[in-house]
Structure 1
Amino acid sequence: MVSLPSRLIQLLAACLTAGSAAAAPVPEFDLKAAFVYNFALFTDWPADAQFVAGALNVCVHPASVMRPSLGSLNDRMVKGRKIAVRQLAAPEDIRGCQLFFADASDRERWPQIRKALANAPVLTITDDEEIRHDGSIVSLSSEGSRIVFDIDLRAARNARLMLSSKLLRLARSVQ
């Protein structure tokens, strides 16, 4: 049996203990940011992906409630690259991102963002129910006291991203 990488085990431990009365509660947005970090760890970008300033750019709407929690990922390492959390001011700037977190603050501009993506190698993650059904690769949701996620493999293939089989096995559903 192959042992899981320690970061994946940490993610699983966080998920399993988030609702436990004995464990210190983890704020929902911080837990989601941990998921985002782990999704980046288990994603491979194509060789021709452009990493601005050599960083793995995690983009988020300036008004997103996730922005402060995602900001805690700044300077963490993923596959030899430092994470740089950036605010996505305009949808056309998304091509400078490797990962984009969309939430309710992106609903109005989601059609423009999807158009700007046009098969760009950007891992899209959302916790918004409307965006979830409209092309996001990873969708986070709450199930009881746990955070679970679903993966749209067709969207990942369109973005030319390879998601680890280990990540796929942890998803609630893979379509």
Structure 2
Amino acid sequence: MRDHLKYFIFTILCLCLGLAPANGSIRSEYEVKAAFLYNFTRFVRWSQVVDSTAPLIVCVVGDDPFGELLDPLRGRKSQGRELQLRYPDSTFELTGCDVLYISQSQSRNLPELINLARQEGMLTVSDLPDFIRKGGMLGYVKKGNVIRFEINLKAATEAGLTINSRLLELAVRVLR
């Protein structure tokens, strides 16, 4: 178990260094969240995927808190699938998303987005307060100055997603 934790933390640190500007500044909260977002794609399996070489589409709905921080993910591979980014303006444009990051500006639409994501087999991620308790799957939480995450395993399973046990071990809380 400790080896898995060391590997995951090492991967996060390497990714943070690779995503960050070269000026050596302290990593911002959203640089860390972007690194986590990439790593989430590596530890989740989508059962509804017919073509394992099809792009893995990460969608950010609402106000984009990442700015350009997700741009380095474009074209990277996760589980043999090329990552693509989309920024849909409406729920009609969410079709085809594999990962749905729900920004804070979408808190009013949260029940609708979570329901749609579950039906479509999308992994939901957000930093909205109590996100996993409200039916989201992976929620960022801040513990002091450290960004961690919680998992709603039941919601993921209902959407046809399988979360790797290594990721479950690293969560600060898992709802089953």
Normalization by structure 2: what TM-score? 0.82
- Give the counterpart letter for 1:134 in structure 2: K
Distance apart, 1:120 and its partner CA: 2.0
Q: Which runs of 4+ in 1 moved over 4 A?
A: 5-8, 12-15
**Structure 2 alignment gaps of length 5 or more:** 17-23
Q: Please tell me the root mean square deviation across aligned C-alpha atoms, in Å.
A: 2.7
Task: Provide the C-alpha distance between the structure 1 equivalents of 2:122 and 2:57, rounded to a whole number of angstroms.
Answer: 10
Q: Does 1:68 align with 2:72?
A: no
- Percent identity for Structure 1 against Structure 2: 28
Over residues 106-137 of structure 1, what are the superposed CA-to-partner deviations in whole Å (9 max), with x where a residue is unaligned?
Answer: 11222332232243211101101154432110
Letter in 2 for 1:155: A
**How many angstroms apart in 1 are the aligned matches of 2:101 and 2:58?**
8
Q: 1:14 to 1:59 in 2, by over 3 A?
A: closer
Q: Say if 1:108 and 1:68 are closer, same or farther in 2 by CA, change over 3 A.
A: farther
Matched, 1:135 2:135: yes
2:156 corresponds in structure 1 to 156
Aligned to 1:79: 79
Contact 1:49–1:121 (CA under 8 A) maintained in structure 2: no
Q: Alpha carbons of 1:2 and 1:30: their partners in 2 closer, same or farther (altered >3 Å)?
A: closer
Question: Given residue 66 of structure 1, which amino acid in structure 2 is its aligned partner?
Answer: F
Amino acid at match of 2:126: T
- Which whole-Å CA distance do the structure 2 matches of 1:25 and 1:85 have between them? 25
Provide the residue aligned with 2:45 in structure 1.
44
**Partner SS state of residue 49, structure 1:** coil
1:96 aligns with 2:105: no
**Residues in 1 aligned to 2:89 and 2:81: alpha-carbon distance in whole angstroms:** 23
CA gap 1:82/1:145 in 2 versus in 1, 3 angstroms: same
2:21 — aligned with what? none
- Is the counterpart of residue 147 in structure 1 residue 147 in structure 2? yes
CA separation of 1:119 and 1:107: change in aligned 2, threshold 3 A? same
**Structure 1, unpaired ranges of 5+:** 16-22
Contact 1:91 1:109 in 2 (8 A): no
- Normalising by structure 1, report the TM-score: 0.82
